[in-house]
Structure formats: structure tokens, C-alpha cells
Structure 1
Amino acid sequence: MKTIHEKLGLETKSEGITLIDAHHHLWNLDLHHYPWLKNYDPNTFLGDYRSLIRNYLLEDYAKDSAGHRILATVHCEADHDYNHEVSETRWVHEQAERTGFPNAVVAHVWFHHDNCEEILTQHKQFPLLRGIRSKPVTASCSEQAETVKGAAGSMQDEKWLTGFALLEKYQLSWDLRVPFWHLEEAAQVARAFPNTRIVLNHMGFPWDRSEQGLALWRKGMKALAACPNVYVKISELGLRDQPWTVEGNRGVVLETVEMFGIARCMFASNFPVAGLQISYHDLVNNISEILSGFSQQQRDAFFWQNAQSFYRIDLS
């Protein structure tokens, strides 16, 4: 299979790391509406993200990832206008037909909405659909986590659980995205649906690197790691207004790999969002440095084989 750079006629370096990117985004602001990009909010965990308010197409991704051998990519829904969520899936498939990438798609559905199954069946018309990312209702901080339990759209909401159960019926995985103070609740869902494969996005956002914050993060991660149907993406390790450093992130990465095992961990860039703090080249190389103690076989599993298997990517 040709790499993304070969497909697009761009130079690629043979010494770069071979990988499948298990999580990135694309958007065309001329054609589609992304509320978070239309209405800039400086108070998000991203900090100043105004540089993202531009079109980001496959050609842009290919330029960012130059220097590495990208065998395949997984497009994850990018908070598109949820009144027209299927149009994002359609557009991403048009990009795949044009360029050969991405090679798997994670779309959006609201599990607790009455039209959940209707939207799922519309997404299922597209052949690269592999999973769903539907963000449950969460609290803004750990101290308020209990206040949203049982609320509409939360992971205890019966309507939400009924919609979630459809993933097994349609043979789709769930991309789990919650802050670390909700990880134990997510583990309860994972145990209740052992036949549904789940992948945690962004390592549960270990934003609080204090001893107390890491203890709470670690407790939730261990609960999820105890569920054999849960995998994890090593991604989005940036901290607001702080530089991305190897030493700053080595501990949480190695702890995550130890808890889940390398066979359930996968590389994911979260570009272009992660580009707010680090280049693609440095991101890959920094993660590679952190994992330097692992064998080549284990590194191959982490950088591309696990994602290929989880998202059922055809590399022929």
C-alpha cells in the first residue's frame, strides 16, 4: 500500500517511522459548519486556538506529517454541526475517494436522542465507518462529577444506554472521550457491554499533574484497563499554556502502557489540534523516544498494527 505522501505525489523519507494515525481531523469551513471554530471560545482547555480556524484538508495533513511513512489514517468526528452529522461522514468519504485517505471513519451520533438508530443507519451506508464518538454529559471539574450522574445524556441515562447498545448490533466501536474524573463511570459501561470494543481518546485527559490529580486519573485508568474490551490512544498530551516535553509526558505515557499493555495502546496524533503545541514530526519522535525501551515488534504494534486491527483497516 502506498503511503499518503506517495499517493499525493509528495516526497517521503524512508527513515521515518511507519505508522497508522488512529485519530486526526479534517474540515472545510467553506462547505461545513463547525460551531467551535465559528464561535471562538478562549476558555477551552485548548487555550488560544485561533490558528485552527482555517480549512484543514488531506494535503495540509500530508505536509504536517512529512518525514514519516503514513500507511493509513482514522478520521474522527470534529464537532461538526450535529444537526447535519451525516454530511461530515459523506464529505470525509469524498476525500477518501479523491486521495485514498482516510481509511477508517469515526462518526457522531447522540445515543440519547430518539433518532439515534436512524442516524446510525445513515452513517452505515458509508463503507469506511468503523466507530462512533458520542461524548456523554460530563462535569467541568472533578468536584462536580457527581452532579451530572443520571442526567440526560450521561452514562447512567437509560436512553443513553439504550442507544449505546446499538453499537454491538451495528458492529461499531465507541471512541470514549471524557475527562479523567469520569473514567470509573466509563469502566462501568465497558463492563456492562463486554462485546463492544471501546477506545479511550487522549488518555483520559491527565490535565492535573499534581499528586492528587494523577492519583484520581490513575484510579480511573486502572478501572478501564481491567476491561479487556477497552483500548487507549496515546494522544493529546498537551497542557494549556505549557510546552510539550518528553520529560513532562514520559510518566503518564509509560504508566498508561503499563496498565493497558502495549497490545491495547495505539498512536494517535490528534492533528491539527495537537499542532497548537507541537509539530507532527516532533510528536512522533518524542513518543518514539519515550517508548525506546520496547522491542521493534512492540513498537510496530503500537505505531500501526493495533490501529489496523482495531479499526479493521484494509492495507491491500
Structure 2
Amino acid sequence: MTSSNSPHLPIRADWLATRREDILWPELPIIDPHHHLWDRPGSRYLLDELNADISSGHNVAATVFVQSRSMYKQSGEERYRPVGEVEFANGVAACFASGLYGPRRGCAGIVACADLTLGAAVDAVIERLLPAGGGRLRGIRNSTAWHEDAEVRSNPIQPPPGLLADARFQAGAGRLAKYGLSLDVWAYHTQLPEVLQLARACPDVSIIIDHIGGPLGVGPYAGKRDEVFQDWRSGMRSLAALPNIRVKLGGFGMKLTGYRHYQLDTAPSSDMLTADWRPYIETLVELYGTRRCMFESNFPVDKGMYSYHVLWNAYKKICRECSQQEVADLFHDTAQRTYAVDVS
């Protein structure tokens, strides 16, 4: 379950258990480049929960942990408190690397938080994050998804508006190139022009768009899927012209997408998910090519809508007409190139 003030759907294990599918292409190597870990009131997703999901049938070789506001330090300067999250994620990675939990390498890459509005002063924060990550730190993400409508929420704590276009934020983002770190960006489709500004201001930084660029389906966008799709596609097309942009294909399980599979009596099948997601995924593959696209789980956020093994079955069904190399890119190679994940 989740706490009442959480924007995330509750996880109902008994409901998810109503749908079980045979695993498609069980030998296909997968790197899951986007998941979270946390222990919050009414919501726990730690090593055991992650391991249960990535061990549920698909050949998940490794994962990338992404900033979750989890296990921050409770003392010291505010800017350095996210170091605690990196220490925590690196500890989970060490548990997986021991082999005690099987061959999978959970948290083999870490995307941390560092306040990029610090500008050049963010260097001091990064220089503490790097050793805390034990060689696994790969990128930075800040909370930037913002909309004025109260129904459009994906973060328990609402960030300020306009961060992506803030000169201080852009200066801080530009510092990442010095350390070989990428920038993950979670923004709604209404913010894509700001993402474009950011990407142009930081041409030497690899920028990864999370959750397909956030097409909205709630609040003022409820019942306007076709109109939103056109706006979203236009924004993503503009970004595709920039070589430093990559995209994560996923995030469909958030309530703000407007999908209502969680209201079904039984958990959705991969066929249902495939029908909904195909237009977005095929559009992005056409715009960016498979070398700049990668599938993600966004668990446990998306787990309120469908189970892990059904999610990856849906992705595989969408790729039935793809070449062997295109499949390898989408499920493994792009993530490995992007995050330099060690799966040895």
C-alpha cells in the first residue's frame, strides 16, 4: 500500500497475482535502467522487493537506481544530504554484487540527486557523491516535473516551477560534463520546450528524457489523448534533432497518464498494454532510432498498474517486427552505453 498523500497508486499483490503469463524470449538480456528504492510510511520497496521483481522470469542482468529522495542524511548542510541516498544504493548494489541474491546486478548504476541550481558550486557536492557511489555513480536527476494544476502530480513534494529554464540550473547541469555524468530529466509534455532550452544550453551533457516525455491524461488533459499526443510528438520531434538526447520508454503506469487499468477486476494483460503503448513507442523509435531509446520499468511507481513480468512481455510483443540488433538496443545495449553498466 501507499500513504494517503502519495501520488502513486497502491501496490496490491493479490490483484497483481490475478494475471500470470508465460515469459516471452526468456533468454533475452535486459538492463532495467530506471527503478527506485524507498521505505516510506505504507510503501516499502527495498532489496527483497526489487530482487523478487527482477527474478520473476525475464533475464534481467542489471538495473540502474534513480534518485528517489530516499535515505538522505538527517544532519549536515542541506546540499550534502543526498550523499546518504548514494551510500544506501551503493550498499544495495554491493549486496547484489556478492552473488548471494543470484547473478543479477541490482543498482549496478546509480543516478543521484545534486541541487543543480548551485551552479558551479555543485562540483563540491558531486565530489562527495562520487566516492559514496563506489564507482557506480553515472548521473544526476533533480525533481523538475511541474504543472500548475493540482491534479497533475507525480512527486510527493512539488518542485518549484521553471527549474529547467533557470540559468542557475542550466549552469549546474553543464558542470556534469566535467565528471562524465549524464542528466536524467523527468518533465511533462507541457515542459518539453524548457527541456529543449536546457539541452541546447548543455550540448556536452548526455540528457536522458524519462518516461517518454510525460504525455498527460488527467486534469485539463483528461479525455484529450489525441490532442495531447500531437503536442507531445511535436515536442519530442524537436528534441530528437539534438544528438545529446536519449529517451526512456516507460512510465505508463503512473496515474497522471490517464490509463485506468488499475480499476479492472483483474490485472491487465500484456496484450492490453501493448495496444495502448505501441503508438508512443513506435513514434519514439522512428524519431530517435533504437540506439537512443531504452525500455524501463519505473518500479515500484508503475507497479500499481501492472506486474513486472507482464510489463516486459508487453515490450517484447511491441518489438516482434524489430531486427535482432534493434531488440538488443532497446532492452540492453542502449542502457549499457548510456550508463556504462558492468554486467560481468
What TM-score bracket applies, with the shorter chain setting the length? 0.7 to 0.9
Query: What SS does the aligned partner of 1:95 have?
Result: helix
2:24 and 2:316 in contact (8 A); partners too = no
* In structure 2, C-alpha distance between the alignment counterparts of 1:153 and 1:181, rounded to whole Å: 11
Report the TM-score, using the length of structure 1 for normalisation: 0.81
One-letter amino acid of the structure 2 residue matched with residue 264 of structure 1: R
Aligned pairs for 1:59-74 within 5 A: 59-65=48-54, 66-74=56-64
Cα shift at 1:81: 6.6
* In structure 1, C-alpha distance between the alignment counterparts of 2:146 and 2:47, rounded to whole Å: 32
How has the CA–CA distance of structure 1 residues 156 and 309 changed in structure 2, closer, same or farther, with 3 Å as cutoff?
A: same
Matched, 1:26 2:37: yes
1:108 and 1:132 in contact (8 A); partners too = yes
- For structure 2, which runs of at least 5 residues remain unmatched after alignment? 1-22, 73-77, 98-105, 153-159, 218-223, 262-267
- Alignment partner, residue 54 of structure 1: 43
1:25 and 1:272 in contact (8 A); partners too = yes
From 211, 230, 255, the equivalent of 1:202 is 211
* In structure 2, C-alpha distance between the alignment counterparts of 1:79 and 1:25, rounded to whole Å: 9
* In structure 1, C-alpha distance between the alignment counterparts of 2:297 and 2:281, rounded to whole Å: 14
1:194 and 1:229 in contact (8 A); partners too = yes
Matched, 1:292 2:320: yes
One-letter amino acid of the structure 1 residue matched with residue 163 of structure 2: S
Cα shift at 1:79: 2.7
RMSD between aligned alpha carbons? Answer: 2.3
- Alignment partner, residue 129 of structure 2: 123
* In structure 2, C-alpha distance between the alignment counterparts of 1:241 and 1:227, rounded to whole Å: 30
* In structure 2, C-alpha distance between the alignment counterparts of 1:99 and 1:15, rounded to whole Å: 21
Aligned pairs for 1:60-209 within 5 A: 60-65=49-54, 66-80=56-70, 83=78, 84-100=81-97, 101-113=106-118, 116-125=122-131, 126=133, 127-136=135-144, 138-140=146-148, 154-208=163-217
One-letter amino acid of the structure 2 residue matched with residue 61 of structure 1: L
* In structure 1, C-alpha distance between the alignment counterparts of 2:339 and 2:295, rounded to whole Å: 13
* In structure 2, C-alpha distance between the alignment counterparts of 1:305 and 1:68, rounded to whole Å: 16
1:72 and 1:102 in contact (8 A); partners too = yes
Query: What SS does the aligned partner of 2:61 have?
Result: strand
Report the TM-score, using the length of structure 2 for normalisation: 0.74
- For structure 1, which runs of at least 5 residues remain unmatched after alignment? 1-11, 30-36, 39-52, 145-150
Query: What SS does the aligned partner of 1:75 have?
Result: strand
Query: What SS does the aligned partner of 1:248 have?
Result: helix
How has the CA–CA distance of structure 1 residues 241 and 212 changed in structure 2, closer, same or farther, with 3 Å as cutoff?
A: closer
Query: What SS does the aligned partner of 1:237 have?
Result: coil
Matched, 1:228 2:243: yes
From 280, 299, 312, the equivalent of 1:271 is 299
- Alignment partner, residue 231 of structure 2: 216
One-letter amino acid of the structure 1 residue matched with residue 43 of structure 2: R
* In structure 1, C-alpha distance between the alignment counterparts of 2:144 and 2:35, rounded to whole Å: 20
Aligned pairs for 1:233-252 within 5 A: 233-238=248-253, 239-240=257-258, 242-243=260-261, 245-252=273-280
Aligned length: 275
* In structure 1, C-alpha distance between the alignment counterparts of 2:297 and 2:26, rounded to whole Å: 19
- Displacement over 4 Å in runs of 4+: none
Cα shift at 1:76: 0.3
2:67 and 2:112 in contact (8 A); partners too = yes
Query: What SS does the aligned partner of 2:230 have?
Result: helix
1:112 and 1:153 in contact (8 A); partners too = no
* In structure 2, C-alpha distance between the alignment counterparts of 1:153 and 1:75, rounded to whole Å: 26
* In structure 1, C-alpha distance between the alignment counterparts of 2:58 and 2:242, rounded to whole Å: 33
One-letter amino acid of the structure 2 residue matched with residue 21 of structure 1: D
How has the CA–CA distance of structure 1 residues 96 and 13 changed in structure 2, closer, same or farther, with 3 Å as cutoff?
A: farther
1:153 and 1:160 in contact (8 A); partners too = no
How has the CA–CA distance of structure 1 residues 178 and 159 changed in structure 2, closer, same or farther, with 3 Å as cutoff?
A: same
